[in-house]
Amino acid sequence: MVIALLLLLLWAGGFLMFHVASGLIHLLLLFAVVAFVVHLVTGSRTA
């Protein structure tokens, strides 16, 4: 969950601050979404 939020923040920061038009910044968003979905599927089993 933490890595998904971190990647999402990096993507948003890069997109808003630098207006980067390359595909790399969008890969950060893709990785954030994938990490979030994996977290939801596996679940957090800590009490």
Exposed/middle/buried for residue 39 (C-beta within 10 Å: 0-12, 13-18, 19+): middle
pLDDT above 60 for 46: no
Higher-confidence residue: 37 or 20? 37
pLDDT of residue 44: 65
Instruction: Read off the pTM.
Output: 0.48
Q: What is the DSSP letter of 26?
A: H
